Structure 1
Amino acid sequence: MADQALYRTGSVEQHGPREGGRTSTPFASLIAVLATLIGLVLLAWTILFVTKGRFLKSTFERYASRSAEREVRVAGDFKLYLNPIDIKFLAEGLTITNPRWAKERYFLKSKLIDSKIETIPLIFGKRRADWLMFVNGELDLAWSPDGKQNTWTLGKPSGEPFELPDIKRALIQGTRIRYTDPRLRLFANVGIDTVRAQDTRFAQDIRFAGNGTLRERPFTLSGSLMSPNETASGGRNRFRMHAEGYQTVLDVSGTLPGATRIEGVPLDFRLRGYNLARAFDFLGVAVPDTRAYRLRSTLTRQEGEWRFRRLRGVFGESDLAGWVTVGMPDNRLKLDAALATNTLDIIDAGPFIGYDPERLDATGGSVTRAQGGRILPDAPLRVEAISRFDADVKWTVRRVRADALPAISNIDLTLDLDRRLLKLSPLTFDLERGHVSADVSINARRAAVFTDMDLRLSPTPMGRLLKGFGVEESGTTGTVKARVNLAGPGDSIREWLGNSNGRIAIILPQGSLWSRNVQLSELDIGTFVWKMWEKRLKEPVQINCGLIAFTVRGGIAAADPILIDTKKNVILGRGGFSFKNEALDLRLRADGKKFSLFSAQSPVGIVGQFASPKLDVISPQLVARGAAGVGLAAVASPLAGILAFVDIGDAESAACGPVLAGARATAQREKDGDPRDDVGRGTTAKSESGKRSPEAKQKQRKKFLGIF
């Protein structure tokens, strides 16, 4: 039994190792497979290292040509192997052809390319090279005429922007790079060369210089990558670039961790010139024209964006600060910015709405001289340029310097451009003690650019707003509010206004105004002379309500209505003006509510052009009344001549409800509720001859009989 037990025990001991051997077989197989793979890799590595991969030349040409959909050829020596884990690539006489649409036959030609490429980043789609030697090369970077393809995107045609590979160290000799963009009408030809080392020192300078044209205007550029000796061991590189052309000067400098490593590196960026819009032409971005400018910022490329931070500078006599970002989300250029100006000179604001900055400078800021006697700017919107990018810009201005105009301050502008639809909303600013808010939409998606503007002025003290026109605050308590709503086609302000439809309304709530100003406008000679003798020119005159409104059709604005009700008079207006030719033709007349001697009672004309309005005081009607007075004096007596200038005071007070609501002429009422017959769309019921309608005559007869 013991022997059997021992036998069984021994049997158990004998079977134990066999079972253990069976369980370790898969692990051993895995080890064997890995060892085989490693051995094969080492064998392949050894073969490649010993042969330098020269036998792969034809294979490389075949697969590279298929992948690039271009012909790729190596005329001389070829090497492709791992050293030790990074890829070593050398090719003599490498050529890559261009697409058929390109003018040049070859995208790339070189006598020698020698490089060491990091393998692991390449697996994840990043192009990094520890070393690049490029000798006697030519590189043709060109966009197709429609901007949908380029020469550097190999394989399936696309329009991706050009990105430099990340290169730590480089030695470039006798190489030229051409860049062409037909959309921008931009061509550049740049030569790159390395200053050779002296004795045992490594090459110090990679220098480049070249020239080109932008929109048929020449420019030059130059610069260098100054690499100290320690660059060979992964040191840093001092970079500088200088470019001039199109009245623009650009300087960029900084320190790079590698020959082309600019990601996340802050660079000193300086830009100056005669017009900032010309500098942005390099990006294909349309910005408003400016006067001479000087800007400085920190420039950083990060996460696919160019970021201009700590921006500061001046344009004309105005300052500018903030930040700007230029990116390519969804492969479309996008401009984001937040800008701030402490003081904006009114002359510097002119180019933003279409005035030529060069003409403004030449004329000392005179708009009319710059526009050949016109006021409305006619610079066209650059529709083609704004179609190439989007924008989101915020700009604040603390104050506007304009001595001859009402004080403008606290401008807050938000600009949004989305595929040819430009919105300025909200656009707000303070005007004296009032506030202006506006919403502007410029739609360039339509066949004809269409602009819609809605501008609103909150109640503003009239004395402050009109002080530049002789109205003083002392004795003036009246306020004014307004709304302008215009829409129409046109690619310039002048063309848009000349085709616009809409309404303009200026409302005068109850208040007072210096009597001198009111009496002059009413031409009530008797009252004015009487008060002048009594030295009561500054006695306030009460305004009950007033409305100066125009209906605009096809760029022609007709009074609808002009109606101002004061304590003693009702001022009526007719006529209008034209945005098409900037002509003015308005007639204002004051009817007295009370009996007055020596009242002219004839229309006062405002005629001429926007740039040079004229006051037509001596009207034919006034001359006729003067002649009648002379005739009466000759026939009867001098006292009878006065009768020609008597105003019996028959004007009907206005109902202020429709006036303050900005209603059209057809909705205006007299104080007793009857429809007014003396206002109309562009006319008044009382004509220039002074004749009233039959209804008005009937009222006049009743009032005449009531007085006498």
Structure 2
Amino acid sequence: MEHSTEHRPWFVRRRKALLRSGGALAVLGGVALGLAVLDWNLLRGPIGSLASARTGREVAITGDLDVRLFSRAPSASVQGLRIGNPAWAGPGRMAEIPRLDVQVELWPLLRGKLMMRRLALERPVFDLVRDAKGRANWSMSRKSKAGAPLRLPPIRDFTIAGGSLKFTDAGRRLTLAATLNAAEQAGGSDRGFTLTGQGTIKAAPFRLEVRGGPLLNLQPDRPYPFDADVRAGPTRVVAKGAILKPFDLGEVEAQFTASGTDLADLYDLTGVPFPNSPPYRLSARLARQQKLWRANSIGGRIGDSDMAGELSVDASGARPFLKADLRSRSLDFDDLAALFGGAPSRRPGETASEGQKATGAQLAAQRRFLPDARLDLRRIRAIDADVAYRAAGIRDAMLPLRAGSVRVKLEKGLLTADPLRFDLPQGAIAGQVQLDGRKETPVTSLDLRLSKARLEQLVPIRTGGAAPLTGGLVGRAKLTGAGASVREAAAHADGQVLVVVPSGEIRAAFAELLGVNVVKGLGLLLAKDQSKTDLRCAVAHFQARNGVLTANRIVFDTEPVLGVGEGRIDLRNEQLDLRISGRPKRPQLIRVMAPVTVQGPIVQPKIGVETSNVVAQGGIAAALGALVSPLAAVLPFVDLGEADDAACGALIAQAGRQGAPVQGPARR
């Protein structure tokens, strides 16, 4: 009689499943036994081949390999580990480690998280290379992007004995030879981690010293402290901070101080193209979050100007993006000269580097003011930026500037300063400046307007305590020039410049002297006569071509005299040659029609009277029609404000009544 399967013993019913499980356990046991007695040296070749395939470079183990898997903390000892370069870096090795001991935590590893209990390296040699494209030979992933921060798993105990490091950065022309040591325990001269070395940046000496805390019992959730001191020529950077997640260099915070003779020199250390500057000392709170760097609470001085604000650099895109909001309570205006390759003032007490002093002395000896330092186009093409800056106060400017602000944007080599504004006691200078660095030869263009200003404030001439000229003042300069330096761009400038005094007053003595009425003019000056006469209109219009500003019209109209001028301003050699002649509107006792001249270097012109040529007196009506009528074409170039009621408008109307062909085009 057959028994039902339901009444069979359970081990009979499940014998197939038990046989399969038993077989699997037997296999696993055999594998475990095999691994326990395995000579791991037999796997050096396969392990090296697998690692080579994964990293895209040669990885080889030339010495003994000993692995201990069956432990709460599996470990391995590797002797003769060699890691080669990626193909782009050429032949050679990235690292060579005579002995490497590693021990990992088992339970975190089973959860998919690598945590090292111990990492010990004996006499390691590292040869690190970063090429001009930013590729780093220590990046083990084929898909890793240039500039990615080094990230290691958490390591509780980390020791390095007798290590050496060589670092070469082609883009920054930097080399470094350093020693590496990391003591397991604190105490003595080998406390914690040390990296010390020296090398060159662009052939200039470079020194680096980094010290960290003890590398014993590190916790992945506790910051690892460090100090750093970097010196490259006159540049020094000192930092005290912590790696927030040891050893993830993408999470760092530090308080740092940077000082040197020129902010532009920081490019060699940071890769950020800061502008040229006078000597500086700045401090900030620095934080790194992977590819985002932030500098908060910036404070210090650049030249003789204070500086504060915030700055960030995002390196996650095709080009780094710099964003900053900066401000000064008091800007020493001559500090700005260094931005363009010039020099701050050389007066006693002014801050300038030795190189800037030499540049200033050379410009002064040549009686020039336009610097010829050339722009490095690679730097402005390598980064994008959005920078806002404002100065609450300005001092030591040629004009009475009170405050200023600018917004600078840089994108793919195109730099735009817009809006740019300087406040005057009355009125302002505002507009935009653009530098197009996308072309082989950069092109600079500017469009600046002077509005609602006062003549007596911008031309502070005093005789006997009174201003000889008063009145409103407006103007505009629109110029474009190609060149890699300020001087070169100015020497190729095209465009126009217009300055207008719509109405005002002038001391009668000065007006008489335009006709060079020797008796009355000098008599009034000697008597300190303060009587005034109306300044109906004054216009100076220059057309620029290849760096030469030629005076199309210079008109100076008062009740007694109509002054007219001619000449040019040559930016190529920075020279002035202007003449103003007066045509009296009524008979004078003694009259010499001799032009008043303004000649010589722009920085040091001389004012005189040209007596060699006596100008014949012409009809005032003819002069008015010939000289004033073109004003209708140039005055719309500026905003006169109350243009309809200004005396210049009346003068044009008068010229029209006298038959001059006056035509007023639409304003632009």
**TM-score scaled to structure 1, two decimals?**
0.78
Q: Secondary structure at the match of 1:289?
A: coil
- 1:374 counterpart letter in structure 2: R
Aligned length: 630
Residue 101 of structure 1 deviates from its aligned partner by 5.5
Pick from 433, 436, 442 the counterpart of residue 440 of structure 1: 433
Asked if 2 retains the 8 angstrom alpha-carbon contact of 1:520 and 1:528, the reply is: yes
Asked if 1 retains the 8 angstrom alpha-carbon contact of 2:96 and 2:125, the reply is: yes
Asked if 2 retains the 8 angstrom alpha-carbon contact of 1:309 and 1:323, the reply is: yes
Asked if 1 retains the 8 angstrom alpha-carbon contact of 2:89 and 2:129, the reply is: yes
**Partner residue of 1:252?**
239
- 1:460 counterpart letter in structure 2: A
**Partner residue of 1:211?**
198
Residue 94 of structure 1 deviates from its aligned partner by 0.8
C-alpha change, 1:596 and 1:337, in structure 2 (3 Å) is same
**Partner residue of 2:647?**
none
Q: Secondary structure at the match of 1:620?
A: coil
Paired with 1:416 and 1:120, the residues of 2 have a C-alpha distance of: 52
Q: Secondary structure at the match of 1:110?
A: strand
- 1:316 counterpart letter in structure 2: G
C-alpha change, 1:423 and 1:235, in structure 2 (3 Å) is closer
What does residue range 689-704 of structure 1 map to in structure 2 within 5 Å? none
Pick from 488, 491, 496 the counterpart of residue 489 of structure 2: 496
**Partner residue of 1:270?**
257
Paired with 1:230 and 1:541, the residues of 2 have a C-alpha distance of: 89
**Partner residue of 1:151?**
137
Does 1:334 pair with 2:347? no
1:85-140, Cα deviation, whole Å (9 max, x unpaired): 88755422111122456466111111122335689999999986554222211122
**Partner residue of 1:425?**
418
- 2:431 counterpart letter in structure 1: A
Paired with 1:217 and 1:560, the residues of 2 have a C-alpha distance of: 52
1:640-677, Cα deviation, whole Å (9 max, x unpaired): xxxx9x998665374675564359xxx98862356769
Asked if 2 retains the 8 angstrom alpha-carbon contact of 1:204 and 1:229, the reply is: no
What does residue range 248-647 of structure 1 map to in structure 2 within 5 Å? 248-256=235-243, 259-356=246-343, 367=360, 369-370=362-363, 372-402=366-396, 405-467=398-460, 477-532=470-525, 535-536=528-529, 538-622=530-614
Structure with greater helix share of residues: 1
C-alpha change, 1:238 and 1:154, in structure 2 (3 Å) is closer
- 2:170 counterpart letter in structure 1: P
Residue 597 of structure 1 deviates from its aligned partner by 2.4
Paired with 2:107 and 2:463, the residues of 1 have a C-alpha distance of: 78
Residue 63 of structure 1 deviates from its aligned partner by 1.3
Q: Secondary structure at the match of 1:406?
A: coil
Residue 526 of structure 1 deviates from its aligned partner by 3.7
Q: Secondary structure at the match of 2:535?
A: strand
**Partner residue of 2:168?**
180
Paired with 2:379 and 2:540, the residues of 1 have a C-alpha distance of: 40
Asked if 2 retains the 8 angstrom alpha-carbon contact of 1:107 and 1:141, the reply is: yes
- 2:518 counterpart letter in structure 1: I
What does residue range 189-200 of structure 1 map to in structure 2 within 5 Å? 189-195=177-183, 197=185
Residue 56 of structure 1 deviates from its aligned partner by 4.3
C-alpha change, 1:345 and 1:86, in structure 2 (3 Å) is farther
- 1:70 counterpart letter in structure 2: R
- 1:91 counterpart letter in structure 2: V
Q: Secondary structure at the match of 1:266?
A: strand
Pick from 117, 123, 129 the counterpart of residue 142 of structure 1: 129
Q: Secondary structure at the match of 1:63?
A: helix
Paired with 1:46 and 1:458, the residues of 2 have a C-alpha distance of: 92
Q: Secondary structure at the match of 1:277?
A: helix
C-alpha change, 1:596 and 1:308, in structure 2 (3 Å) is same
Q: Which segment drifts farther, 157-166 or 81-90?
A: 81-90
Q: Secondary structure at the match of 1:299?
A: strand
Asked if 2 retains the 8 angstrom alpha-carbon contact of 1:45 and 1:81, the reply is: no
Residue 31 of structure 1 deviates from its aligned partner by 13
**Partner residue of 1:684?**
none
Residue 532 of structure 1 deviates from its aligned partner by 4.0
C-alpha change, 1:61 and 1:414, in structure 2 (3 Å) is same
**Partner residue of 1:6?**
none
Asked if 2 retains the 8 angstrom alpha-carbon contact of 1:549 and 1:662, the reply is: no
**Partner residue of 1:8?**
none
C-alpha change, 1:203 and 1:488, in structure 2 (3 Å) is closer
Paired with 1:544 and 1:30, the residues of 2 have a C-alpha distance of: 114
Residue 460 of structure 1 deviates from its aligned partner by 0.3
Q: Which segment drifts farther, 103-112 or 412-421?
A: 103-112
Q: Secondary structure at the match of 1:496?
A: helix
Give unmatched runs, 5+ long, in structure 2: 347-351, 639-650, 662-668
**Partner residue of 1:61?**
48
Residue 168 of structure 1 deviates from its aligned partner by 3.6
Asked if 1 retains the 8 angstrom alpha-carbon contact of 2:404 and 2:421, the reply is: yes
Give unmatched runs, 5+ long, in structure 1: 1-13, 626-643, 678-708
Residue 183 of structure 1 deviates from its aligned partner by 2.4
Q: Which segment drifts farther, 55-64 or 437-446?
A: 55-64
Residue 475 of structure 1 deviates from its aligned partner by 7.7
C-alpha change, 1:232 and 1:294, in structure 2 (3 Å) is same
Asked if 2 retains the 8 angstrom alpha-carbon contact of 1:318 and 1:345, the reply is: yes
Residue 514 of structure 1 deviates from its aligned partner by 3.4
Residue 568 of structure 1 deviates from its aligned partner by 2.3
Paired with 1:119 and 1:548, the residues of 2 have a C-alpha distance of: 85
Paired with 2:20 and 2:478, the residues of 1 have a C-alpha distance of: 81
Residue 319 of structure 1 deviates from its aligned partner by 0.8
Q: Which segment drifts farther, 454-463 or 219-228?
A: 219-228
- 1:161 counterpart letter in structure 2: G
- 1:150 counterpart letter in structure 2: A
- 2:556 counterpart letter in structure 1: I
Asked if 2 retains the 8 angstrom alpha-carbon contact of 1:454 and 1:486, the reply is: yes
Residue 457 of structure 1 deviates from its aligned partner by 1.3
C-alpha change, 1:676 and 1:131, in structure 2 (3 Å) is farther
Q: Secondary structure at the match of 1:380?
A: coil
C-alpha change, 1:518 and 1:173, in structure 2 (3 Å) is farther
Paired with 1:242 and 1:99, the residues of 2 have a C-alpha distance of: 31
C-alpha change, 1:366 and 1:96, in structure 2 (3 Å) is closer
**TM-score scaled to structure 2, two decimals?**
0.82
**Partner residue of 1:161?**
147
Q: Secondary structure at the match of 2:656?
A: coil
Aligned-residue RMSD, C-alpha? 4.2
Pick from 617, 621, 624 the counterpart of residue 652 of structure 1: 624
Q: Secondary structure at the match of 1:95?
A: strand
Paired with 1:525 and 1:198, the residues of 2 have a C-alpha distance of: 92
1:431-461, Cα deviation, whole Å (9 max, x unpaired): 3321122212211111211112111111201
**Partner residue of 2:656?**
672
Residue 502 of structure 1 deviates from its aligned partner by 0.5
Residue 60 of structure 1 deviates from its aligned partner by 1.7
Residue 592 of structure 1 deviates from its aligned partner by 1.7
